[in-house]
Structure 1
Amino acid sequence: MIIITLDTPGGAYDSTRKIVEDILASKVPIVSYVYPSGAQAASAGTFILSASHIAAMAPTTNMGAATPVTLQGEDLPDTLKSKASQDAAALLRELGKARKRNIEALEATIFDSKAYSSTESIENNLIDFIADDVPELIKSINGMEITIDSQSTKLKSINPKIETSKMTLQENFLNFLADPNILFVLLILGALLIFVEFIFTGLIVPGIAGAIFLVLAFLGSTNLPVNFIGIGFLILAAVLMYVEFSAPGIGIAAFGSISSFLIGGILLFGNHNIPFLPGAVEPSPFLNSHINIWILISSGILLVIPTTWTIWDIKRAQKSKKHLVRNIDLSGETGVAKTILDPRGTVLVQSELWSAETDNNQTIEKDSNIIVSDVDGLTLKVFKSDNDDII
């Protein structure tokens, strides 16, 4: 026999149905016990309690209030609420029928948000016992008959051996990662450390640590209802940051990346419902977030400061190089096309990589020998060499 001690305000409907399925398929008796005093089996807890072979509550506990709502506890749009309520009520009706419980009282928890105290629950035939503690519960269960796989079974619970099962270290760790705030902090730290590795190539440790944080964030996201639009913004943020540092501009791509990252964080686990739009009946992906606003603000600052410093440093280096170029005449120097020039690309001249543009907009294949004809700021004007042996 398995005794589940319940104290929950509710949870995700999909997870609740999976728990109910496991209870219904169990080959051993399942007892759900709302415990200790002051505990509740609200919303999802009502389904678990009703699905169990035996339902019990401690004094001064309650159950019910199972009307479907958003993850933030807010009302759903009318059409979605009606669909979800009808589906949930149908499940409770079947559970009530299977466990011989009061179907009307169970439906009231859905359509009227009705909640019941332990005394009201036993008066309305929603539970089997009120017990002060687990030993009293086990004593009350002794001799009860339940049905498993259409077979009647009489329970014998005299002098039982009690084994308490708690969450494993792995389960506690996954539960810790399932906090949206923790997950978002891991995303931020991972992104920053990868950023540091990208700028200061060869440090290795930031890159490895960043990758670990990102993997942990991905692991935590598997336990949460993730919004794919939020993921799309996070991917866009990575692409824009790559664009910015592959071809440094005035920082537009970088700050676009930061904006996309923060928007992605807001949408990643948010409530996607715009109630003030006329006729809105389905979820929309643009409002509310599970992530603390101060974490979002702090994350924005953490991203803006190093990005701004890096862009400023790149601009300073570019100005310094421009000044140096004015005093260097590379005309006539030879080199190699490191990318295809069509007509722009990258060349290697005097062991340095340069942006280059071909004369007369001609195309030069990668690894072709080139000759510099002129220097325009940080861009070399080049043409293809006819001599393959000049390098």
Structure 2
Amino acid sequence: MLREINDRAAIEVLLREGPLTRAELEVAIGLSKPATAQLLTRLEAEGAVGKAGVRGGGRGPRAQLWQVVGSLAYVAAVDLTPKAGDFVIADVAGQVLAELRAPLPAHEGADIVGEFGKALSEATRLAGLTLPDLANVVIGAQGAFDPRTGFLSSAPHIPGWLGFDVPATLSEQLGVEVTIENDVNLVAVEEMTVGRAAGLDDFAMVWLSEGVGGAVVIGRRLLRGATGGGGEIDWMRVPDPVSVDTGERHPRAGSRFGDLVASPAVARLAAAHGLIAESGWDAVALARREGSEAADAFLDDLARRVAGGVASLVAVADPQLVLLCGETSRAGGEDFAARVALRLHELVLPRTPVGVASVAGNAVRAGALQSALATAREDVFGVSAPILLGPRRPGGGAPGAAVALPDTSPTPSPAPTD
């Protein structure tokens, strides 16, 4: 048992840090020099690790480097958008082997499975592999995924992907395990792996862009909820606290949070303050450049709106940090995050800091890759990663796996959930 624990610890370090010398690994896992040497010999004989060249520099002999054998498994990750899919293929050590952006149909009646399969096959071909070589595939999509049914919802922008068990159908037709996850959840996975939340146990994320989304991480695991709706604050009803008339009539029950902070609503709010911009992020960037009294009032009103939605997450979860992500958040930067924090602290007891997510590039695809790697590494090495998204298949023992539960999902809105 102790030997297995030490082996897993060594694998975890090598996966996290990359190639290391025996001395570096010895320090990292706290074993003696002979014990570490025996461990490496044993793992090499099992085919789990191999030599990776030498580390030069300094006087004396160069030190042998060791790394995890990446060819033990391969994974794929996909960022699914209304017009295309961004594919990446990697080995179990995390080495990217191929990338591909391919057009994908999303209209109702399209051959979703066939076209997706063709694109995935081409991506694996570019990596020198075939579909059966893949251990698993993780897809990130703009929408809510119900693990009980395998259905996507709140995704009218990709109607062809609605109304069927997406992971089960793709898995059966392609012959490889496929899972699908909300895009903001995957951004949260990437952020807690290599971003500002890497050292945190609990945090919340709010996506402000063309649409709105959210994610909550508790104990370094995503809070998915019984129906996959954990963190989906888009539908939440909140009052509108702005100081100007935006020309909209708000129902007595309050407005949908997504209707207040999605890009079109932010642009309308800016116009009410005399700032004309095509998108929410353009409006925020314009206000920051101008620095006028009107611009300041607009940013403060928007911060009040955002804080009104974030407050519910903070009041229930009391996270260590709230991270804002998406184009509108990036346009606002840390200055806007500070405004949100100020207004948030007027609404809730915890003094939770608010910041901007740090992960750049395609964070959805990167998070999908982290999830796919976590699953493969658990299967191959027995390394249990805390970022795993939940059950591998619907009904896999997660809370809410009882399919007989009533479907309480709201009627899909015409605005997409990011």
Pick the TM interval, shorter chain. under 0.3
Larger Rg: 1 or 2? 1
Higher relative contact order, chain-length normalized (CA < 8 Å, sep 6+): 2
Bigger proportion of residues as helix:
1
- Per the normalisation by structure 2, the TM-score is 0.22
